[in-house]
Structure 1
Amino acid sequence: MEPDDQHLITQTLAGSLASFDPLVRRYERLVFKIAFSYTRDRDAAFDVAQNTFLKAYDRLGSFHAEGSFRAWLLRIAYHEAIDWVRAHNRLKAREDAEHATETLPGRDDQEGELLEREQWRLLEHGLGALNHRSRLAIVLRYLQAMPLREIAAVLDTSEGVVKSMLFRGVRKLRDHLAEAA
């Protein structure tokens, strides 16, 4: 059984650099997914994820033990991704979602694969039309199954605001998908 986050943080702060590695392994996929949802580029997402963990390590002393490390880390990832987007003005070409996201379980025939790719493309296009905070709320809630309380902590807002963001974001996504159909 792996030690909990707080134990690893305490050991890291006591000087054990190796104790930070399990935290990285535990959250690297989630941080990457958040980064990719903003950068739309694998290499850039890896850079954002790496910067997130470097910043988290440097600022570990400012983490408050009563809070959720995951929410704290994802807040850093969110800000790093936003900084990347601002620096690159969203002009980078988007990588095909099939190569960067997990593929949906699909049929063996080519028609099924094409349909799935098109569905992912439409979903990603719809997510791209949302503002940063709404996009992150939807990704965390529906793709990562994160509780509202933690999403609120990541976005530094109330659960009520998160619920409203989710409602409006899903409605906007639904409208976007209906227009595309």
Structure 2
Amino acid sequence: MTQDVAAIQKVLGGDVRAYAALVNKYQSMVFVLVRGVCRSAEDAQEVTQDVFLKVYQQLHTYKGNASFRTWLYRIAYNTAISSIRKTQSLERRSEAYAQDVLHTTDRAEEETDDPRVAQQDKLRSLLETLPPQDRMLIELYYYKELKMDDVATICGLTQSNAKVRIFRIRQKLQEAMTAKEAVTAEEDITAT
């Protein structure tokens, strides 16, 4: 029996301290995950609180088929996506961030001479233009370094569907990066 399962059994038995220990253990991980989808730290903090409220309310439904972390991330994923859907339509968010990215990537290029840092800044800016579900897939797989089956479970996809979606998202990001570099090169030529 893992520590998490033992803690869950204590919580279900009424031990509030065991729940506080679970929250302390996972709160920063959930916040970072949710922050990848939410635009502000305040929104991410609010969603994180909602996640742990839902976890407490639904803890009795945890079956142990997946790790507790995977189950928790699934709740965090659903809560973050629901929060975004409530506040704005996904289309308006994507358009606003696409405009933002053009300015952000231009500033990132101006602020650093290190091409690797500029490349990472461009990629981070392009990630911001993705729909939240796609951004979450990339965050979980590449930044959180979760296994593909965990990513699929968290996002409610089959493993093969998750692989295909990640592949397509990477293609889309590569095309956008190439297009951005072409525009930047063209601007440099016309500026001289």
Bin of the TM-score, shorter chain as denominator length: 0.7 to 0.9
Aligned to 1:82: 81
Aligned to 1:69: 68
Could you tell me how far apart the structure 1 residues matched to 2:133 and 2:147 are? 16
Could you tell me how far apart the structure 2 residues matched to 1:37 and 1:59 are? 24
Shift of 1:137: 1.3
Could you tell me how far apart the structure 2 residues matched to 1:32 and 1:89 are? 21
Aligned to 1:107: none
Amino acid at match of 1:122: K
Aligned to 1:111: 112
Aligned to 2:34: 35
Structure with the higher fraction of residues in helix conformation = 2
Could you tell me how far apart the structure 2 residues matched to 1:130 and 1:142 are? 15
User: Which blocks of at least 5 consecutive residues in structure 2 are unaligned?
Assistant: 101-110, 182-192
- Aligned identity (percent) is 28
Name the larger-Rg structure: 2
Q: Which shows bigger deviation, 80-89 or 161-170? A: 80-89
Shift of 1:38: 1.6
Could you tell me how far apart the structure 1 residues matched to 2:145 and 2:174 are? 19
Amino acid at match of 2:18: S
Q: Which shows bigger deviation, 25-34 or 146-155? A: 25-34
Could you tell me how far apart the structure 2 residues matched to 1:176 and 1:29 are? 31
Aligned to 2:190: none
Q: How does 1:155-170 map to 2 (within 5 A)?
A: 155-170=155-170
1:61-104 superposed Cα distances (whole Å, 9 cap, x missing partner): 0111232211111111111111221222167898x9xxxxxxxx
- In structure 2, the CA distance between the partners of 1:16 and 1:37, relative to structure 1 (3 Å rule), is same
Could you tell me how far apart the structure 2 residues matched to 1:82 and 1:22 are? 26
Amino acid at match of 2:166: L
Q: How does 1:126-165 map to 2 (within 5 A)?
A: 126-165=126-165
Could you tell me how far apart the structure 1 residues matched to 2:122 and 2:16 are? 42
TM-score (norm 2): 0.75
Shift of 1:119: 4.2
Whether the aligned pair in 1 keeps the contact of 2:126 and 2:173 (CA below 8 Å) is: yes
Backbone CA RMSD of aligned residues: 2.5
Q: How does 1:11-22 map to 2 (within 5 A)?
A: 11-22=10-21
Shift of 1:128: 2.7
Whether the aligned pair in 1 keeps the contact of 2:81 and 2:133 (CA below 8 Å) is: no
TM-score (norm 1): 0.79
In the TM superposition, structure 1's runs of 4+ consecutive aligned residues that sit over 6 Å from their partners are 90-94
Shift of 1:138: 0.9
Amino acid at match of 2:159: E
1:131-179 superposed Cα distances (whole Å, 9 cap, x missing partner): 3322211100100110011111101221111111111111111112222
